[in-house]
Structure 1
């Protein structure tokens, strides 16, 4: 005896009975006696199922479905799928083959019998596969088809269909319910594609709700009808994607799709350094990097722009200096000079930046956005404050205002913001109108510095004395 599904041993081989019955059932169906044929098939299916004959049970359930499908009795087909899948002791292999056979008919049913019949079969398959681990992959695929149907209704609404907004949200909710990252039966590529599809629909819904919030005057983060919950879900989904897997050459298209969505997420939250990193990942892709005058150039330009837009910290500074040292950047004159300005400890006067870089940058897709242009101005001011703090111990507020090309109030607000962020240390004496960039040191600190300076001085004196002695000895030998 062979072992059947679920660890049951086959008790009897019903192959001869099945071979004899199938032609009879087909003949009865063609003669218009479909129900009589089904009754005979159901009776033998019960025997083979109880006998754990997987092969015979599978042949019988598929025969039942095929007779109903060929007779175009789709209502009976849906009923049979439900009944057969719930039969006591039904074999998993038989259920899997039933679901796969029904799924193979979906496209034909949609074209031949209409969308309503297609939806009925889809819902039947989703009901049958719900909660069954061995059917998790077919359920995901059927749900994906249903989600795409609702998304199509969003783009092309039909009479009697839900509002376009509801259709898009339904599509997103359907896919978001699938925890495909836990599916062991699904291939890694397909699993990643599902996650990207979930992310794409979340992105669409987030944009839709953001637009609604903006139109309603509630575009601020946290508004009741904005898309922040979807943006959060998008971030969560993105963490399920293995970025090492994306580095494989066969997954390049998936990689570019993933980072495109991550760029949009980063821009929505003004996370410029993250956006620069995402563009760097794109630029590292062989096909992109090799296109030096096309996509590769565009990606490198965007890395420069978003690094420059990022607030200063150790990570941003490190990335900017590594980018400046990259030979590929030297081919981009404007971008190279922009990064050079930020990596050089010299003042960047904003009027000069506007004159030199403005005509070019304001035509790019990044800096046509007024918010990005304002943020670039803020980064230039912050750079100038750091340079001033490096070269000045004390400076008058009036002089600081002049160097920063700001009003006194703007200069003080910028300085305070950088102090709070820990970028520079400063104290403002308002009555005297003086900014101190050096903290008062205690007696111990002064003595430590004095001791260090004296050691350096004595070291120089000793080195000089040794050099003089060596010169005198050399002269003595010459005279001798």
Structure 2
């Protein structure tokens, strides 16, 4: 009866009637395990109505009432899509703590499952998995949505390395890698966020693997940018900024949007860190047997106070 009544939702004459019917069906199905999937779908419809009315907080609260990860009969794609919707609404209301908790219900390994395998028939006693609705995205589309949401989450704390890894995962999606209009903006973002990331073994490993990517030859200026980080040469901030300023500003119009308000400041900070690291002191020592702090500061376009602090 609930399934039959749900078919009439889209035939309701106005929004008030539609909302009232959804609420009635929700009340009827509350607490009944055999219609838990129908109740989740009803809640999702009601949350969408609330969101369209600008009530983001109410929509997020509604969605969080349902723990679909416990639904054995719900298809994996529908379950994943539901949790991603919960995460998105939490991000929209700037509830980053809850967004992180919800996102951990999804293991990235779920997107690596082979979809080409034939579905096994359920054994006796096992619950039958229902087919997902037609509007549920495929597993690879959900993978892209997941990492886009994770980029939004990590952008809040300016965790550049994690943002880079998310873009790296998007870059590996076949539909993205086959379309230059998609992979070029993503590869640009990977390069920028690698440069913005603090120096550590993970960052070094990602830089070297990215430099080996043949697609990087399509955007040679970014190969040059990454090369500067792995070459034993001093980076002069003024020269680097003059070279890449236009590319930096062009990111605002590229897929994925701008690099963030702090990015330009953090880029300069990374160049300074690169220049005052032990490795780059060794670079300077190859060319100078003796050098004053003033001359070193002039070479690197830094104030002498920076070196006094070091």
Matched, 1:189 2:80: no
Cα distance, 1:326–1:368 mapped onto 2, change above 3 Å: closer
Q: 2:97 aligns with which of 202, 209, 232?
A: 232
Q: 1:337 aligns with which of 224, 227, 233?
A: 224
Partner of 2:46: 146
Taking structure 2 as the reference length, the TM-score comes to 0.82
Matched, 1:124 2:11: no
Give CA-to-partner distance per residue, 1:198-218, whole Å, 9 cap, x none: 122112212xxxxxxxxxxxx
The answer as to whether partners of 1:404 and 1:411 remain within 8 angstroms in 2 is: no
Alpha-carbon offset, residue 101 of structure 1: 2.2
Matched, 1:105 2:8: yes
Partner of 2:307: 411
Q: What CA distance in whole angstroms lies between the structure 1 residues aligned with 2:300 and 2:89?
A: 45
Cα distance, 1:355–1:104 mapped onto 2, change above 3 Å: closer
Matched, 1:401 2:297: yes
Q: Unaligned 5+ residue runs, structure 1?
A: 1-97, 155-166, 207-229, 416-480
Q: What CA distance in whole angstroms lies between the structure 2 residues aligned with 1:121 and 1:199?
A: 26
The answer as to whether partners of 2:232 and 2:280 remain within 8 angstroms in 1 is: no
Partner of 1:56: none
Higher helix share: 1
Q: What CA distance in whole angstroms lies between the structure 1 residues aligned with 2:28 and 2:225?
A: 61
Alpha-carbon offset, residue 356 of structure 1: 2.2
Alpha-carbon offset, residue 367 of structure 1: 6.4
Secondary structure at 1:364 match in 2? helix
The answer as to whether partners of 2:170 and 2:176 remain within 8 angstroms in 1 is: yes
Partner of 1:134: 34
Alpha-carbon offset, residue 269 of structure 1: 1.2
Secondary structure at 1:363 match in 2? helix
**1:432-447 pair list within 5 angstroms:** none
Matched, 1:256 2:144: yes
Alpha-carbon offset, residue 338 of structure 1: 0.2
Matched, 1:202 2:90: yes
Matched, 1:277 2:169: no
Secondary structure at 2:250 match in 1? coil
Q: What CA distance in whole angstroms lies between the structure 2 residues aligned with 1:368 and 1:190?
A: 32
Partner of 2:234: 347
Cα distance, 1:123–1:369 mapped onto 2, change above 3 Å: closer
Q: What CA distance in whole angstroms lies between the structure 2 residues aligned with 1:277 and 1:149?
A: 34
Alpha-carbon offset, residue 394 of structure 1: 8.8
Higher normalized contact order (CA 8 Å, seq sep 6+, divided by chain length): 2
Cα distance, 1:369–1:121 mapped onto 2, change above 3 Å: closer
Taking structure 1 as the reference length, the TM-score comes to 0.54
Give CA-to-partner distance per residue, 1:64-91, whole Å, 9 cap, x none: xxxxxxxxxxxxxxxxxxxxxxxxxxxx
Give CA-to-partner distance per residue, 1:232-281, whole Å, 9 cap, x none: 11122222223223235642221111111111112221011111111111
Q: What CA distance in whole angstroms lies between the structure 2 residues aligned with 1:367 and 1:197?
A: 24
Secondary structure at 2:251 match in 1? coil
Alpha-carbon offset, residue 369 of structure 1: 4.7
Q: Unaligned 5+ residue runs, structure 2?
A: 116-137
**1:401-480 pair list within 5 angstroms:** 401-413=297-309, 415=310
Q: 2:281 aligns with which of 366, 389, 393?
A: 389
Alpha-carbon offset, residue 142 of structure 1: 0.8
Matched, 1:177 2:42: no
Q: What CA distance in whole angstroms lies between the structure 1 residues aligned with 2:2 and 2:202?
A: 52
Partner of 1:358: 245
Cα distance, 1:370–1:131 mapped onto 2, change above 3 Å: closer
